[in-house]
Amino acid sequence: MVKTGCDILADGSCDSLRGRRIALLANPASVSSRLVHVARILLENGIGLNAIFGPQHGFRGDTQANMIEWEGYIHPIYGIPVHSLYGKTRKPAPGDLSGIDMVVIDLPDIGARQYTYIWTALMMIEECSRLGVEVLILDRPDPIGGSVVEGPVLREEYFSFVGMHQLPARHGLTIGEALLMISHLRGLSGQIKVIALEEWKRDLYFDGTGLPWVLPSPNMPTLETAIVYPGMVLLEGTNISEGRGTTRPFEIIGAPWIDSARLLSALERSHHEGVAFRPLEFSPAWDKYAGRLCQGIQLHVTSRELFRPFRTAAILIRTISDLFGDDFEWLLPPYEYDDSHMPVDIISGGPDLRLAIDMKSDMNDLFDSWKNDENDFLAARREFLLYE
């Protein structure tokens, strides 16, 4: 079994924290392999836990979707202040870290640049660096493996809360590796330590770790969801339902104006490695088209090794745009605290995908440019890898 940083802390590394004033950045998935939450581990080991911070979706994981903010409170059991990093501010407010010696970060990630927890952690590290507070990162696996990277590298002018560094859409890094790399490149790494994973290899998916899957966010119910997410999150920038409001978000997509049979026929004429499509109808309970009957498809990954979620999503959106262009739309700002850029441009890393689809360009030219980005990033990340 893979041992997470949280497991190693629970097995005896707490001793090094005694006598320190600790703050914790975590969420409901910040648990050991025995499903004990890291906050409880710290407190039961006599560690002085003085403050708790939570990311998007809350420390309790009770806020559903994007842009649903939450406010801080006093923890009803621990009596410790819980501060929101997804509300009026996305970084600690003045005074929140007063008297704190060290911030322990234990957050899951799913291997996608658009997932906000890395950026919440980075903003915490930046504030800790400014104040001279140490940071201890409890590492966790990249659940979709660390060997493959995919998609264009984010352009700096499109930085936002769903991307604050030049990463591809699927980055193939653990959260510890990503934060070490970004912090080093920004001159923030002096006060940062990582409790590394034990027995994790880059080719391991989460179901090969022996660890229990705990929802890292409300719309990430399964590993299968995480596998498709780095590409299917692009649909958040369109008027196509990405399946929020169903039990299989990002695996199920559709809209009332889509004809499943036509869509499936067109997809079958194009080449898609590692994935099969099944037509279906669904009515989202909330979010886009809530309560309305939608037609669409469900993605079934048949080969994790061959499946490329970002390219698959790009072709899927292009196909829907070509078939149902009178109804298909790109959503307008704002999106995740950005009021100026098109949401899909923020999600994809720049305007190239949107422009290629609108201009009906050859998608293979776009894919070739992504391959260059992918190769460059694989080389750039090499010195920061903690695992083989």
SS3 letters for 121-153? Answer: HHHHHHHHHHHCCEEEEECCCCCCCCCCCECCC
Model confidence band, residue 118 (pLDDT cutoffs 50, 70, 90)? very high
User: Residue 323 CB: number of other CB atoms within 10 A?
Assistant: 17
Pick the closest to residue 143 from 246, 212, 88, 232 (CA basis): 212
Model confidence band, residue 52 (pLDDT cutoffs 50, 70, 90)? very high
The span from the CA of 121 to the CA of 117, in Å, is 6
The span from the CA of 158 to the CA of 139, in Å, is 28
For the chain, what is the total number of helices (H) and then of strands (E)?
10, 10
Strand partners, 282: 294
User: Which tokens hold the place of 54?
Assistant: 């939570």
pLDDT value at residue 10: 92
The answer to whether residue 151 scores a pLDDT higher than 80 is: yes
Tokens 């776009």 belong to 366
SS3 state at 211: coil
Look up the pTM and report it: 0.96
pLDDT value at residue 87: 87
pLDDT value at residue 15: 86
pLDDT value at residue 259: 98
- pLDDT 10s digits, 199-256: 999 999 999 999 999 999 999 999 999 999 999 999 999 999 999 999 999 999 999 9
Alpha carbons within 13 A on the beta-carbon side of 374: 17
DSSP 296: E
Better pLDDT: 62 or 342: 342
pLDDT value at residue 181: 96
pLDDT value at residue 88: 80
The answer to whether residue 37 scores a pLDDT higher than 80 is: yes
Residue pair 173/381 in contact by the 8 Å Cβ criterion: yes
pLDDT value at residue 176: 98
The answer to whether residue 295 scores a pLDDT higher than 90 is: yes
The answer to whether residue 330 scores a pLDDT higher than 90 is: yes
pLDDT value at residue 283: 98
**Main-chain dihedrals φ then ψ at residue 321, nearest 5 degrees:** -60, -40
**CA dist 388 → 1, 147, 228, 374 (Å):** 16, 9, 24, 18
**pLDDT-above-70 percentage for the chain:** 100
Residue pair 56/120 in contact by the 8 Å Cβ criterion: yes
- pLDDT 10s digits, 73-96: 999 999 999 999 998 889 999 999
- pLDDT 10s digits, 155-193: 999 999 999 999 999 999 999 999 999 999 999 867 899
The angle, 0 to 180 degrees and rounded to 10, between the axes of the packed helices 309-323 and 260-269 is: 120
The span from the CA of 249 to the CA of 220, in Å, is 7
Average pLDDT over every residue of 62-79: 88
pLDDT value at residue 279: 97
Average pLDDT over every residue of 286-291: 96
Strand partners, 298: 252, 278
> How high is the mean pLDDT of the chain?
96
Pick the closest to residue 166 from 153, 176, 182 (CA basis): 153
The answer to whether residue 65 scores a pLDDT higher than 80 is: no
Model confidence band, residue 343 (pLDDT cutoffs 50, 70, 90)? very high
Model confidence band, residue 63 (pLDDT cutoffs 50, 70, 90)? confident
Torsion on CA atoms 7, 11, 17, 23, rounded to nearest 10: 30
What lies within 8 Å, CB to CB, of 114 at 6+ separation is 162, 163, 169, 229, 230, 233, 347
pLDDT value at residue 16: 85
SS3 state at 382: helix
- pLDDT 10s digits, 252-275: 999 999 999 999 999 998 889 999
The answer to whether residue 67 scores a pLDDT higher than 80 is: no
- pLDDT 10s digits, 351-363: 999 999 999 999 9
The answer to whether residue 276 scores a pLDDT higher than 80 is: yes
User: Which tokens hold the place of 175?
Assistant: 């959260």
pLDDT value at residue 1: 92
pLDDT value at residue 62: 86
